[in-house]
Structure 1
Amino acid sequence: MIDKLISIAQGAINHLFDKTFSLLSKIISEHGTSSFELPDTAYGIPLIYALEGIKITTVEEIKDFMNKIQQLDSQTLSYLYLAEIYLTLQYIRGEEPEKHDKGQYYGFLGDTVQRTLGVQLVDGRIPAVAVLIGKANYDNISKIVKELQEKKILTFLIGSIAEDFVTNSDKTGFEVYVVPVGTKIEQTVYVIDWAVRSSLIFGGQIPGQKDAILEYVRNRVNAFACVFGKINESAVATALSAIYFGIPVISDQDLPELKISEIADYPLLTSEKNYEKTVKKALETRGLKIVVEKPPIPVSYGPAFEGERIRKEDTFIEFGGQRTPSFEWVRMKNISEIEDGKTEIIGTEWKSRYEKGGQMPLGIVVNVAGKKMHKDFEPVIERQIHSFINEAEGLWHIGQRDINWIRISKMAKEAGISLEHLGVILASMVKARFKSIVDKVEVYLYVDEKDVLTLMDEARKEYKERDQRLAKLTDEDIDTFYSCLLCQSFAPKHVCVITPERPGLCGAFTWLDARAAYEIEPTGGNQPVEKGELIDPIYGRYSGVDSYVKKHSGGEIETINLYSIMENPMTSCGCFECIIAVTPEANGVMIVNRGYNGMTPIGMKFSTIAGMIGGGVQVPGFMGVGVNYITSRKFLKGDGGIKRIVWMPKELKERIRESFQKRAQEEEVPDLFEKIADETVCEDVECLVDFLARVNHPALQLDSIIK
């Protein structure tokens, strides 16, 4: 059967070669053989770079590579490379991404999105990736997409399906897990090269090592494809491309089942004509078991709805947001004080007020109790209120504590969402997600302004006490750090060590978060790390940390310093929020955040630097970190601390302004913030050095950072 499929696909390959060569000739006549850059990637034309080790950045290099395509033994790779080149040429001509007057096609999928989604991919919030290709009835496909959303699966749409969603749905984008890539079947290569890039970004694979990269994608990327509509040469070539990477294809046409033991132990081509069973068949084929936690509410529920936006005109009722008094507060109680599962609304005539819509005050008080519950876990649970409410379709939540803002959409109200359901969601999900530390939970919703204001004052006192208690917590105060090994599903050598003063590099885990996660799931990705003997207090080296890292990196990393970028720095996976990079000419370091696409003073963009340091390797002079580490007292303690910072993007500076200025006061450099350059000052090192000399930056008076 495979030989027959390859024979059919040859027609698509021949046609695509002619089409690509014709477009290449036009571009050479129009633009010459100039250089180009795909948006937001450090990998040239990514699939070719990953599998062949050839980084293509000029039209002349494309022309040279076209000659090599004809000599390839693999028809599948020939098709994929041609598709990638054809689409790249369209980018050069300004024809990609495709335009649509009713919405957005995403086209090429950049590195930043992949790194942003990295944490969700490794911690199970996105357990799989689906690709829906072709043409089918919109109502049938929308039901399939909704089911995939509820199961937390990230879905890419290609072909007529993508056009239908852009035209008919206003709920698309990475934030809702539904991404219309484009209408051309060749654009399937965008998803494939996105999957392959994970081996470079997270896995530390070396470009050109084709077999290792193939093994990585086949074993570590949970993906499947559903192909709808009539089978033609291009559909067959696309299906073979997916199969090559171990991605099973489910078709709505009558096709015999195909297994290739050299690639996978599951069917790589199978059929399911009943659209109500498509998702079930895909999950069974790929061997995925996804358990969905859903509270008893009348709307869909899952992380895919967390990115949903509810506009003012679509809002039925809202709470907080400086429109009404509002707060949320998790309190630890004795077990005897709590009636488990209780949800109560306290206020006068609240039903008629809710039914009227508009605005209401709201005080959310969640009481929890458990044998393993600690006072320090209150803020950990409290922060999850944001996700618990947002994951309900038609509910929207931003902020926290006493600056929260909640909206319920007209659609959710029509579906049957009541005020009680806010309490039901919180009672159900706190118990479900924190079942190992919470034995009982009850929720009270206060809706009279007087009650809300009185309780808000009590909550604010508790917020302040918490902050003071946690601010005093130092690495020296405790005997146990925590690891995060979640990213090892993608970056096998990486070990993240989390301390009170060094949060996880992804920004998602503090020491308290990791401690709570261990209590919740003792065999999970967060494990205790005994500090052991303090070997170096300045660089932050501990014997227990060294032993743990060596063991759990498979012997790849023998020692790390927690507070240094220059001497045995901690490794990075790929989903870091920021990168610190040594800038020798300025005797300091620059910091660039994910999402900043401009040039930096060291002559590289974020994506280029990130490509050098991911995958669990130690790279002295470069290190991925979380934003909050920048204002830690332990920030680069071994290298001179915050006085070494000479450049940051303006957006990052403004984001940390308040906490940074507090740290600068503690370090007796109160004017340091204004002496740190950003892109409005310079993007090259010569200009940076001139600026630092002009403002008398303290880094220039420190010992050389290169030792």
Structure 2
Amino acid sequence: MSKIIAANVVAGAHKVYEKARKKYEMAVQKYGKKKEISFPNTGYYLPVIYGILGFPVKNLGDAGLVLDRSEQLIPPLIREKAHLPYLGPILDAGMASLFNYEIIEAIRYLEEPDFYLPAEDPTDDKLWLGAADDVILRKRGVEFVDGTAPGFAAIVGSAPTKEIAAEMALELQKKNLYVFMAAQHNGTTFSQQLREAGVQIGWPTRLVPFGPDISSAIFAVGFATRAALSFGGIEPGDFRKVLIYNKDRVFAFVLAMGDVSDEWYAAAAGCINYGFPTIADTPIPQILPTGVCTYEHVVSNIPHQEIVAKAIEVRGLKVTVTEVPVPTAYGPAFEGERIRGEDIYMEAGGGKTQAVELTVMKDMNEVEDGKIEVIGPDLKDIEAGTRVPLGILVEVAGRKMQSDFEPILERQIHHLINYAQGLMHIGQRDIAWVRIGKGAVEKGFSLSHIGSILHAKLHQDFGSVLDKVQVKVFTEKDKVDDLLKQAREVYAKRDARVEGMTDEDEPIFYSCTLCQSFAPSHVCVVTPERTGLCGAYNWLDCKASFEINPTGPNQPIEKGKVIDERLGQWEGVNEFVQKASRGKVVKYNAYSIMEDPMTSCGCFECIAAVLPVANGVMTVDRDYKGPTPCGMKFTTLAGSAGGGNITPGFVGHSKLYIGSKKFVAAEGGILRLVWMPKALKEMLKEKIDRLGAERGVSNLSDRIADETVGVTEDEIYPFLQEKEHPAVSMDSIVG
């Protein structure tokens, strides 16, 4: 390999080590070796060190041990007349630099706790977001699982102008990639350039400003490492599997913008270990032979208008981009965009007006494919800032279409509208909330384009069952009210059908292996009374999905002979799970939290855990960020229960599963639920009380503790006794 690159990498590794060692010695002198350090709200300690070495850095003393190890990995400086062109020592130097960057950033969190903003969006006065917490990891990880985010670009430095930065960011967004930004060049950063250009940045738009220094690029590598540990079920310290997982599953690359310093070289060498190549806009030496990366390792001097395409080619990334007939940019990267304040041109729903959506099947002769009607004022007919009622009626027809497919198609409205730049869509059914920004209207967007989006994308994604799609958009109050009445009647019939089904009555369950791309051993079994862990799929959804896509992730499972009715175990399910998990999981129980509970991928909405002192179970959803009575926050629990493992005493589940008769039924069901976050309890109060009444316990939700009562078992147990919670007098849950 190039002697220049080798010399720069090693020189950079020495500089990074010396910087980390100096920061460490000063921190030890000030705080002592027992002072705890961490990246906030993550169960993975310092994730690169933890994933590669298997060593949990909990305090400054631990960091010192890692510094000693990294010093051993860095080779001596390259001498003029004695250079051996081997890649191995250079990769070691790069990995050591990643360890040292992580220690530098951990000490920054200790010394400057307010430097990074613990949120998904930057504010006017705080730009840098720092390390993603585990809630963000799992929320965004789903997009890497389902393919809506094929990979990420780690950008270091800055573009020559803010206009070029904005153009590059938009191109990356159109390719559905995340953009992780760090380091500066010529006194500015790519993140600052985007803000100056008026581009909305943050996790929702996939343009993530990690930090201003090259050391903050470690958060991108940490995100990739945690993906392997969390979704891949890889044990910390199994560095070979961590690196291979990232090369094969996390399609990332580095875009080096500007003059490449020695420290940048060291960081790039660290990324090559993961299979992440570097593509530069300056004429630095190249590493063109293949080896660790899929293709070339370092490619340089690429013009800015070509650099994104070149990076995708070098990484071997397959990107599917669909052209949709709208005047704005379109793709999943814009799904998290927020339209606020003075940027709003039109708003509907969100408690201000009524907004409702409905998809219905019609006879072939009742649908004219491609017909789009706007009934009522369009955007050109209203003033900026106007609130209007909104109804969206999608009528579909097809020789293979079934009424069971209606909710599947209807649910797509949320994503498909959100993918248009300048549009914001929240909620579904009759609680939708839509905003359209002034920028979209200036580009020529009209309400008819909502129909254009739905027509094009539904044909593309569901063409196997659809032959015709027509869309009606209503903005007249009377018409919206009429649609609302029709929609609520349809919703009620759908819900009644699902609620009337039982596991005992159905001989077929369905699998969901959508998350296997990240958690290879996880197999979700969806039954009529147990939704998928992510909450996105119920039994009818899976049935419809299979009929739409017979080779997809939702496959029928003949449950077969009952092995244990109480635990929820069947011969057919065991056989399917063993085969689908490639032998790693041979059985599990659908209804138990204590005995071989179902595996969890990491995409779950909630985690239930046993509380021995309270003689019951608690559950916590990912939106709750505080402590819980089991002694762990959601983020730590997720690290314990995820990755496709069977973890007795813990199980992932959806929010709606709490209202099922099969919720931890083997241990007593809903009567065992003793603690949950208040917001979640209020959301499910009606279902909890109904289930409790069926079991002879009135007002059960009022007997369940929440964070206002306490966050330890000792704090909540007197409350449970006072309220005569049924779990207090039940048999011991731990046997």
Q: TM-score range by the shorter chain?
A: over 0.9
Q: Does 1:76 align with 2:94?
A: yes
Counterparts of 1:215 and 1:538, CA distance in 2: 41
Deviation at 1:357, TM superposition (A): 6.8
Q: Does 1:495 align with 2:495?
A: no
Q: Name the SS for the 2:72 alignment partner.
A: coil
Counterparts of 1:162 and 1:71, CA distance in 2: 35
| Equivalent of 2:108 in 83, 90, 96 | 90
Deviation at 1:592, TM superposition (A): 1.8
Q: Does 1:57 align with 2:58?
A: yes
Q: Name the SS for the 1:438 alignment partner.
A: coil
Amino acid at match of 2:171: E
Q: Report the counterpart of residue 127 of structure 1 in structure 2.
A: 150
Cα separation, partners in 2 of 1:261 and 1:279, compared to 1, 3 Å: closer
What TM-score, normalized to structure 1? Answer: 0.95
Deviation at 1:556, TM superposition (A): 1.5
Q: Report the counterpart of residue 20 of structure 2 in structure 1.
A: 20
Amino acid at match of 2:708: T
Residue deviations 1:23-69 (CA, integer Å, cap 9, x gap)? 22222232223223320111222211111121111122222332232
Counterparts of 1:513 and 1:129, CA distance in 2: 30
Cα separation, partners in 2 of 1:352 and 1:670, compared to 1, 3 Å: same
| Equivalent of 1:452 in 480, 488, 510 | 480
Structure 1 segment 551-590 matched on structure 2, within 5 A:
551-590=579-618
Counterparts of 2:634 and 2:301, CA distance in 1: 43
Q: Does 1:411 align with 2:412?
A: no
Q: Report the counterpart of residue 198 of structure 1 in structure 2.
A: 227
Amino acid at match of 2:309: K
Structure 1 segment 382-531 matched on structure 2, within 5 A:
382-531=410-559
Cα separation, partners in 2 of 1:184 and 1:375, compared to 1, 3 Å: same
Residue deviations 1:237-280 (CA, integer Å, cap 9, x gap)? 11111111100111112245424644234111113522121111
Deviation at 1:71, TM superposition (A): 1.8
Counterparts of 2:703 and 2:634, CA distance in 1: 22
Cα separation, partners in 2 of 1:12 and 1:544, compared to 1, 3 Å: same
Q: Report the counterpart of residue 77 of structure 2 in structure 1.
A: none
Q: Report the counterpart of residue 138 of structure 1 in structure 2.
A: 162
Amino acid at match of 1:5: I
Structure 1 segment 198-597 matched on structure 2, within 5 A:
198-259=227-288, 261-271=290-300, 273-347=302-376, 353-354=381-382, 358-597=386-625
Amino acid at match of 1:124: G
Amino acid at match of 2:26: K
**Preserved CA contact (<8 Å) 1:272 1:281:** no
Q: Report the counterpart of residue 150 of structure 1 in structure 2.
A: 174
**Preserved CA contact (<8 Å) 2:275 2:294:** no
Q: Name the SS for the 1:318 alignment partner.
A: strand
Counterparts of 2:555 and 2:289, CA distance in 1: 38
Counterparts of 1:702 and 1:24, CA distance in 2: 53
Q: Name the SS for the 2:531 alignment partner.
A: coil
Cα separation, partners in 2 of 1:282 and 1:627, compared to 1, 3 Å: same
**Preserved CA contact (<8 Å) 2:52 2:236:** yes
Deviation at 1:166, TM superposition (A): 4.1
Q: Does 1:182 align with 2:191?
A: no
Q: Name the SS for the 1:477 alignment partner.
A: coil
Deviation at 1:455, TM superposition (A): 3.2
Counterparts of 1:527 and 1:60, CA distance in 2: 51
Counterparts of 1:679 and 1:231, CA distance in 2: 50
Counterparts of 2:303 and 2:144, CA distance in 1: 29
- Greater shift, 161-170 or 247-256, is seen at 161-170
Deviation at 1:655, TM superposition (A): 3.0
Q: Name the SS for the 2:553 alignment partner.
A: coil
**Preserved CA contact (<8 Å) 2:232 2:518:** yes
Amino acid at match of 1:25: E
Q: Name the SS for the 1:21 alignment partner.
A: helix
Deviation at 1:379, TM superposition (A): 1.8
Counterparts of 1:537 and 1:274, CA distance in 2: 64
Counterparts of 2:110 and 2:385, CA distance in 1: 51
Q: Name the SS for the 2:688 alignment partner.
A: helix
Structure 1 segment 629-648 matched on structure 2, within 5 A:
629-648=657-676
Residue deviations 1:307-354 (CA, integer Å, cap 9, x gap)? 11112422222333444444221111111221111112234x758634
Cα separation, partners in 2 of 1:685 and 1:321, compared to 1, 3 Å: closer
Residue deviations 1:116-153 (CA, integer Å, cap 9, x gap)? 11221111111111111112122112111111111211
Structure 1 segment 659-678 matched on structure 2, within 5 A:
659-678=687-706
**Preserved CA contact (<8 Å) 1:166 1:180:** no
Deviation at 1:632, TM superposition (A): 1.2
Residue deviations 1:385-420 (CA, integer Å, cap 9, x gap)? 111211111112223223323222111111000121
Identity, % of aligned pairs? 42
Deviation at 1:552, TM superposition (A): 0.9
Amino acid at match of 2:274: F
**Preserved CA contact (<8 Å) 1:103 1:166:** no
Where structure 2 has 5 or more consecutive residues not aligned to the other structure, the ranges are 75-91, 118-122, 184-188
Residue deviations 1:160-216 (CA, integer Å, cap 9, x gap)? 112323454451111111101111011111111211111211111111222222222
What TM-score, normalized to structure 2? Answer: 0.92
Amino acid at match of 1:51: I
Cα separation, partners in 2 of 1:454 and 1:129, compared to 1, 3 Å: same
Q: Report the counterpart of residue 37 of structure 1 in structure 2.
A: 38
Counterparts of 2:40 and 2:13, CA distance in 1: 26
Q: Name the SS for the 1:586 alignment partner.
A: coil
**Preserved CA contact (<8 Å) 2:93 2:269:** no
Deviation at 1:298, TM superposition (A): 0.1
Q: Name the SS for the 2:504 alignment partner.
A: helix
Deviation at 1:668, TM superposition (A): 2.7
- Greater shift, 480-489 or 33-42, is seen at 33-42
Residue deviations 1:341-374 (CA, integer Å, cap 9, x gap)? 1112234x75863477723333321111122222
Amino acid at match of 1:630: I
Counterparts of 1:671 and 1:207, CA distance in 2: 45
Counterparts of 2:287 and 2:494, CA distance in 1: 59
Q: Report the counterpart of residue 109 of structure 1 in structure 2.
A: 132
**Preserved CA contact (<8 Å) 1:181 1:187:** yes
Deviation at 1:83, TM superposition (A): 0.8
Q: Name the SS for the 1:425 alignment partner.
A: helix
Cα separation, partners in 2 of 1:324 and 1:47, compared to 1, 3 Å: closer
